[in-house]
A and B are shown apart, each in its own frame.
Chain A
Amino acid sequence: MERWHAVASWTWDAQDETCGICRMAFDGCCPDCKLPGDDCPLMWGACNHAFHLHCILKWVNSQTSQAHCPMCRREWQFKA
């Protein structure tokens, strides 16, 4: 055998399939991005909910006081 060129698809290691903010697939990208994957990463909160990084940043920035997770309403903390 000289070369084995395989095909794979990548996926985010997340529990949900879609982003709770923009409702787009995690394996796609947020509405502001064109390229999925590294360019539009996911971000997990302390509550273990995941969102597109761009989506959750927008969300956090739009909240006047302390931001909460859009899914479980717990206080939003970026997972370390």
Chain B
Amino acid sequence: MDQSTTSSFCNLGILDSLSNDSICEILRSYNGFCAATQTLLAAVDDLSARRDFVAHVHSLCKHGLDSLVRDHFLRVLEETFERNGASRFWRHFEPYSNVTGLNKNDDLEIDEDEILSVLHSALEEIYLEKGYQEKCLLMLVHAFQSYKKQVSRDTRDLDAERNHLTTKYQWIVSSVLTATLPRNFRVILHWYFKRTLEELSTRMDEELQDHESQSKDGMDLDEKGKICNKVGEMDVDECYNDSRYSENNKLVNSIGKVVLHLRSLGFTSMAEDAYASAIFLLLKAKVYDLAGDDFRSSVLQSIQSWIQAVPLKFLHALLVYLGDSVSYESSSSGLKSPLASQPSSFCPGIDSPSEGLVRWKLRLEYFAYETLQDLRISKLFEIIVDYPESSPAIEDLKLCLEYTGQHSKLVDSFISSLRYRLLTAGASTNDILHQYVSTIKALRTIDPAGVFLEAVGEPIRDYLRGRRDTIKCIVTMLTDGTGGNSSASGNPGDSLLEELNRDEEIQEDVGIDDDFNTDDRQAWINAARWQPDPVEADPLKGSRNQRKVDILGMIVGIIGSKDQLVHEYRTMLAEKLLNKSDYDIDSEIRTLELLKIHFGESSLQKCEIMLNDLLGSKRTNTNIKATISQPSQTSGENAISMDTISATIISSNFWPPIQDEPVNLPESVDQLLTEYATRFHETKTPRKLQWKKSLGTVKLELQFDDRIMQFTVAPVHASIIMQFQDQKSWTSKNLAAAIGIPVDALSRRIHFWISKGIISESAGVDTSDHVYTIMESMAETSKNGAGSSGIQELLGGDEEEERSVSSVENQLLKEMTVYEKFIMGMLTNFGSMALDRIHNTLKMFCIADPPYDKSLQQLQSFLSGLVSEEKLELRDGMYFLKK
């Protein structure tokens, strides 16, 4: 009874003004009220307790003590709920207190069906308890009402009273539960929704597939086109004709019931979080499942169909069940079958879906786009390797990015995978270049303005600038379809230049429909959110393609200038032309024409003259042959006729510097060449010929006792082997003297024949001398272990060493090496320097012996060499000494 004393104590002021009788009555009524409350809430619902309860309430109200009644009743209600509701409720979940995560491994210990039924029955129980308490609360409300009716007939505040008490009670319920919430409950809920939704989605998936295969069976093409629409519109009528419909409906209803119960306990947002995250998990799994590592088909459409067909359908049913959906057909929809009452359900633009569902649709779609986008971005490197076969994936990614606007994510992720995967010492320059070109082609789709390419291309360009063979690889890629590009995608045998040209022609034919306006570009820049460089003012870009991504421009950008590219091309062209044994230059002419389109005629003037020399040589050759009617030499078994001689006559001023080494050709050949030159002088007076005897190609057929071998070799090699016609064995000194080259050069050259098993090498009498002997038969060859057999056709040469044209780098290297010390000294003093500054300083200080007269590009190329030799380092455009 301490409760009553404290209560009375609180009302001491009132007690003073009361008569003894009144005090007695109040005390009696209060005690009675407390007892009746206790009895009622203890769920002993008998008639007399009710009657007593009402009578005591009336009596206390009479004395103006209604607030005391209210407070006491709510307090007892709270205690009872704590005892009978909350603590009993939580006790159900105690066995699962170790469930702390949704990890699959953790779940192994749990009987899933058990936990499912535990949740259901616990919710049922607490719901019943709560329902009973609400009934008691209503009893109090009724008691107040009936008192007021007796006293004043005033019924205005009655609803207010009820609302007030119900709200109070609801607040008590949720605060008691929240205060006692165990950690594992959230996890259990999450798990529950995940599991039930998985089950539901599996069934709905099956339905979807059945539906599709059904409609695909025996229908014509027209109808086939409708599948998508049907799936999209969630044609419920057809889908739900079978018994599974009621199964699904039951499942949705039972989920709905759980949500309703949770709501009534004040767990509205917790429930929503739980099923939302379950849905997102499901969606994520679906996206991964559909997309996977297949880049060759578009998946966005099927993801969207799935969202419509599974989660949205579920949410729709759930919202209807919960009564949240302001349905357009609510009048006719009975609560019993919410799904059935919804016809073809919601699809944007059709009917009016509830606001909640529209929000859900947007959330789900955004999530799906983002998930797919992240998935594709993480595999962008592979996707680009697979380009153009992977263009569906690129197209998907484009749409996702347009929706999410997270372009910068792509930039960061792709650059880091480039650094990790591509820009490493192990990758060949060719592979890097091809990936670069594929990147440009692939990302053009996503980023027609090239803003983002600028950012992604930068690290590749920087990296390539540090490699010495970059220019050569670029020129090869541009001009040569057959050589070098092992990993080329696209048509083999087609140079990049050819391809670019074809693309351009196609674009011209189609018209410039892929032109976009500046607004688009601006939008893109905004979306990408970084400061782009304005598209470089590149003279190569015609006004027509000004706003298009210029592949060629981006490639030239690696080198720095087109002049350097043209220069390298000229060097490579020279080498190629000088190694030709015929005058067939059709493909070179075609390439030159293409280059002229892009780089302008004037810069390729020299190359044109080189090709023209070849054409002129062909004519001259024919003329000279015509003037020589009869072979001048008819004697001797080694006699050769003028017919076997042909020549390439070059205008040396227009060719790159050519290294010619003196060599004594076989006498017969030498005589013919002299005669050839004389004829030339006769027909072309006052022009004369100067032979470059070490250049050219010689086709040989070697006849041995037991075999015939064919070779195509350099003149030096031919001279060497021809010396063995008359003399089977030579000492290196004598042979070198006969051919007119140094001994060390000879030993390098002759190695070619040794490796073919045609000449054998043995120690001579003198240790510094070697003896070379020709192998007359196969038997001898195999005895010596060396060699090969059969007919061979090889361009003989000691690989790199025997380039007839000194390459740009070698030439430059020779000229630049004198400055190397000076550059190193500068960098030691200044720490780091930009290209410009090094260039200017050299210009300023190296004015004599030899004066510095190199271009910026030549300096850059030289520095790249030093970088690749690891003498220097290039970071952010600054050169450092490598530590």
Chain A residues proximal to chain B, CB less than 8 Å: 1-14, 25, 27-28, 34-38, 42, 44
Contacts and interface: CB of A to CB of B under 8 A. Distances in A.
Given A2-B699, A38-B684, A8 B669 contact: no
Residue with the highest number of chain B CB atoms closer than 10 Å, among A3, A35, A44: A3
Given A6-B648, A34-B608, 11 more contacts: A5-B581, A5-B645, A5-B696, A7-B647, A7-B692, A8-B648, A8-B677, A9-B652, A10-B650, A27-B653, A35-B609
A10 to B, nearest CB: 5
A42 B392 CA distance: 64
11 contacts: A1-B640, A1-B644, A2-B701, A2-B710, A3-B581, A5-B580, A5-B696, A7-B647, A8-B691, A9-B689, A9-B690
A33 B648 CA distance: 22
Contacts of A28: 651, 653-654
A5 B669 CA distance: 11
B699 A37 contact: no
A12 B689 CA distance: 9
Interface of B: 578, 580-582, 605, 608-609, 612, 616, 640, 644-654, 669, 672-673, 676-677, 680-681, 684-693, 695-701, 710, 715, 718, 722
A36 B686 contact: no
A10 B687 CA distance: 7
A19 to B, nearest CB: 12
B650 A9 contact: yes
A1 B718 contact: yes
B592 to A, nearest CB: 14
Contacts of A4: 640, 644-646, 669, 672, 696, 698-699, 715, 718
A11 B688 CA distance: 6
B751 to A, nearest CB: 21
A1 B687 contact: no
A76 B676 CA distance: 35
B684 A3 contact: no
A2 B644 contact: yes
B699 A27 contact: no
B690 A12 contact: no
Contact of B687 (A3, A12, A25, A44): A12
Contacts of B697: 5
A42 B646 CA distance: 26
A1 B653 contact: no
Contacts of B673: 6
Given A1-B640, A1-B644, A28-B653, A6 B699 contact: no
Contacts of B650: 7-10
- Ranked 7 nearest A-B pairs via Cβ: A7-B695, A9-B652, A13-B686, A5-B581, A3-B699, A2-B699, A6-B696
Contacts of B578: 7
Contacts of A13: 681, 685-688
A13 B684 CA distance: 10
A8 B605 CA distance: 21
Contacts of B640: 1, 4
A6 B687 contact: no
Nearest to B702: A1
B701 A1 contact: yes
Contacts of A37: 616, 651, 687
A8 B572 CA distance: 18
B75 to A, nearest CB: 109
A5 B647 contact: yes
A19 B580 CA distance: 33
Contacts of B645: 3-6
